Structure 1
Amino acid sequence: MKVLIAPDKFKGSLTAMEVCNAIESGIHKFDASIETIKHPLADGGEGTLDILQNYFTLKTASVVVKDPLFRLTTATYKYNEDTAFIEMANASGLLLVEENERDCGNSTSFGTGQLILDAVKNGFHKIILFIGGSATNDGGIGMATALGYRFYSKEGEEIHPVGKELIHIESIDSGALSFSLNDVQFTVVCDVKNPLFGRNGAAYVYAAQKGASEDEIAQLDLGLRNFSHQVEQYLGQNIANLPGAGAAGGMGAGAVCFLNARMQSGIDFVMEQTGFDALVKNKIDLIITGEGSVDKQTIEGKVIKGISERANQNQIPFSILAGVVKDANLIEKNLKPYCVESIMELGVSVDDAIQNASSHLNEMSYLLIKSYCE
C-alpha cells in the first residue's frame, strides 16, 4: 500500500512538514510496511517559500525595508539562477505588527516594492510575487511608489501611499518608473479569488482582521473603487472584476496594473513547481491532506481544493485531517473526500488542540488508516 501525505501547515501550530511527520508516524504505528510519501504543500500565501525549499535549493537575499507602518526592518527574499521569489508577508505582513498596532488604513506595501526593486537591480528578469498575510489595504500603491509610480490628489499633492488615501487619488504618473516592465516577467501567486471591492472585496472581507472598524471598512472600499477608476483612466486597465484582485488588500490588482503581472493560482503554482501531478500518477492508493482550519474558503483555492481536484481526476480516495472543520456538509458535497476528521471533534480545548496537534494527528491518522484497511 502506498499513501501520499500532502498537507498544508496548521497555522500557529505545525509546519506542513511537521504535519507530514505526525501523520506518517500514525500510519506506521498501525503498519510499518505501508509506504508513505511526504509532500508538504502551501497555497501561495505566507510560508510558501519555506515549502519550495523542501524541493529545490534557494539562496537568500536580505534587504532593509520599511515595514507596514514605515519602520525600518530587515526582510528577505529567495532566488535561484534566474528567478527571484518574493513573499509579500516578509516586508508587509500582518505578523510584523502587534495586534494593537493593526491599522490597514495607515499601513503600506512600500517594503514589498523595495524587495522587488532590489531583485530588479540584482539582474533578475523573472520575479514570482507571493501575496497573502498582508497588513495592508492599499491596492499596492505602496509597492508602486517604491518602484517610481506617483499618485496625486486633485490639488496636485503627492498621495501618502496608504489605504485611507486611495479615495483621494485623482491622477497616476508612471513616468519615473525605475525600470522597464518589458525587461522583467512578473507572476503574482495568490490563494483567493476575491474581487477588488464590494461585499466580497478586499476591505469587507479582510480589513477587519487588519484593524479596521466598520466605518473604516466602508471608506476603504470607496477608496478601492476610486483606485480602480483611476487605474482604468490613467493605466488603461480594468481591474474591478479581476478574480484575485482583492487578494492581500488589493495587491492582486496592484501587481497586475503596476507590474503587468500574470496571475496564477497559488496551489496550482506550488503543485506545478513540486512535481505533484507526476507523483499522483505513481500508483497511489490513498492521499491524506489537511490544514489547520477547514471551512467554506477551502473550496475556493486552498491546498485541499487542489488535492481534491487531482485525487478525483485520478480516482484516488483522499482524506482530510484538520484542526477544526466548519461547513462540513459543504466540504463533503463539493470536494468528495473519503472522510473529514478534526482535532476539535476529540473534545479537547483550543489550547490543547494547538499545543498537542502532533500527537492528536498521530492518533487520528492511526485510526484513519486502520479504518481504511479493514
Structure 2
Amino acid sequence: MKVVIAPDKFKGSLSAMEVCNAIEAGIHQYNPAIETIKHPLADGGEGTLTILQNHFNLKSVSVMVKDPLFRDITTTYKHNESTAFIEMANASGLQLLEESKRNCCHTTTFGTGQLILDAIKKGFKNIVLFIGGSATNDGGVGMASALGYRFYSESGEEIVPIGEELIYINSIDSQKLLFDIKDVNVTVVCDVKNPLYGPNGAAFVYGSQKGASAAEIEMLDAGLYNFSKQVSKYLNMDVGEMEGAGAAGGLGAGAVCFLNAKMQSGIDFVMEQTGFNKLLDDTIDLIITGEGSVDKQTIEGKVIKGVSERANQAQIPFFIIAGVVKDEALIKSNLKPKDVVSIMGLGVAVEEAIKNAPHYLKKLSCQLLETYGEK
C-alpha cells in the first residue's frame, strides 16, 4: 500500500512538514510496511516559502524594512538564479503584530514594497509575490509608495499609505518611480477570490480579523471603493470587480495596478512547482490531506480543495484530517472525501489540541487506516 500525505500547516501549532511526520507516524503504527510519500503543501499564504524550500535550494536575502506599523525590522525573501520569491507576510503580516496592535486602519504594505524594490535593484527580472496573512487593508498603496508612487488628497497633501487614508486619495502620481515597470515580470500568488470592495470585499470579509470595528470596516470599504475610482482615472485600470483584487487587504488589486502583475491561484502554483500532479499515478492507494481549520472557505481554493480536485480526477480515495471542522456537510458534498475527522472531534480542549497536536494526528491517522483497511 502507498499513501501520499499532503497537508497544509496547522496554523499556530504545526508546520506542514510536522503534520506530515505526525500522520506518517500514525500510518506506521497501523502498519510499518505501508509506503508513505510526504508532500507538504501551502496555498500561497504565509509558510509557502518554507514549502518551496523543501523542494528547491533557494537562497535567502536579508533586508531591513518597515513592518505594518512602520517600525524597522529585518526580514528575508528567497531566490534562485532568475526569480525572487517574496512572502508579503514577512514584512506586512498579521504575525508581526501583537494582538493589541492589530488594526488594519493603521497598517501598511510599505515593507513589502521595500522587499520588491530590493529584489529589482539586485537584478531579478521575475518576482513571485505571495500575499496571504496580511495585517493590512491599504489596497497596496504602501507597497506602491515604497516603489515611488505618490498619492495626494484633494488639498494636495501627500497621504500616509495606510487603510484609513484611502478614502482621501484624490490623485495618483507615477512620475518618479524607482523602477521600470517594463523590466519586471510579477506573478501574484493568492488563495482567495474576493473582489476589492462590497459585501464580499477585503474590508467586510477580513477586516474584523485584522482588528477593525464595524464602523471602521464601513470606512475601509468606502476607501477601497475610492481607491478603485482613482486607479481607474489615473492608471486607466478597472480592478474593483477583479477576482482576487481583495486579497491581502486589496494588495491583489494593488499589485495588478502598480506592478502590472498577473494573478495565479496559490494552491495551483505550489502544486505545479512542487510536482504534486506527477505523484498521482496508479500506484497510489490513498491520500491524506488536512489543515488546522476546515470550513466553507476551504472549498474556495485552499490546499484541501486542490488536493480533492486532483484526487477525485485520479479516482484516488482521500481523507481530511483537521484541528477543527465546521460546515462538515458542505465539505463532504463539495469535495467528496472518504471521511473528515478532527482533533476537536475527539472531545479535546482547544489548548490541549494545540499543545499535543502530533499525538492526536497520529491517533487519527491510525484510526483512519484501521477503518480503511477493513473495507
Distance 2:37 2:258 in 1: 41
The match for 2:142 is 142
The match for 1:61 is 61
The answer to whether 1:107 aligns with 2:107 is yes
After TM superposition, the structure 1 = structure 2 runs for residues 178-257 of structure 1, keeping only pairs within 5 Å, are 178-257=178-257
Distance 1:98 1:27 in 2: 38
Q: What do the CA deviations read for 1:320-348 (whole angstroms, capped 9, x no partner)?
A: 00000000000000000000000001001
The answer to whether 1:29 aligns with 2:26 is no
Distance 1:188 1:244 in 2: 10
Structure 2 residue runs without a partner (length 5+): none
Q: Is the partner of 1:53 in helix, strand or coil?
A: helix
How far the C-alpha of 1:116 sits from its partner, in A, is: 0.3
Distance 2:222 2:237 in 1: 18
The match for 1:366 is 366
Distance 1:282 1:239 in 2: 43
Q: What do the CA deviations read for 1:51-71 (whole angstroms, capped 9, x no partner)?
A: 111001011101111111111
Distance 2:209 2:267 in 1: 23
The match for 2:340 is 340
The match for 2:83 is 83
How far the C-alpha of 1:202 sits from its partner, in A, is: 0.5
**Bigger Cα displacement from structure 2, 228-237 vs 275-284:** 275-284
Instruction: In structure 2, give the amino acid aligned to 1:133.
Output: G
Q: What do the CA deviations read for 1:103-137 (whole angstroms, capped 9, x no partner)?
A: 21111100000000000000000000000111110
Distance 2:33 2:73 in 1: 49
Structure 1 residue runs without a partner (length 5+): none
Instruction: In structure 2, give the amino acid aligned to 1:102.
Output: R
How far the C-alpha of 1:239 sits from its partner, in A, is: 0.4
Instruction: In structure 1, give the amino acid aligned to 2:185.
Output: Q
Q: Is the partner of 1:63 in helix, strand or coil?
A: strand
Q: Is the partner of 2:41 in helix, strand or coil?
A: coil
Distance 1:311 1:209 in 2: 32
Aligned length: 374
Instruction: In structure 2, give the amino acid aligned to 1:202.
Output: A
Q: Is the partner of 2:192 in helix, strand or coil?
A: coil
Instruction: In structure 1, give the amino acid aligned to 2:206.
Output: Y
Q: Is the partner of 2:90 in helix, strand or coil?
A: helix
The match for 1:269 is 269
How far the C-alpha of 1:281 sits from its partner, in A, is: 2.3
Q: What do the CA deviations read for 1:262-307 (whole angstroms, capped 9, x no partner)?
A: 0000000000000001111252110000000000000000000000
Distance 2:357 2:39 in 1: 19
TM-score by structure 2 length? Answer: 0.99
The answer to whether 1:279 aligns with 2:257 is no
Q: Percent identity?
A: 71
The match for 2:131 is 131
The match for 2:355 is 355
Q: Is the partner of 1:54 in helix, strand or coil?
A: helix
TM-score by structure 1 length? Answer: 0.99
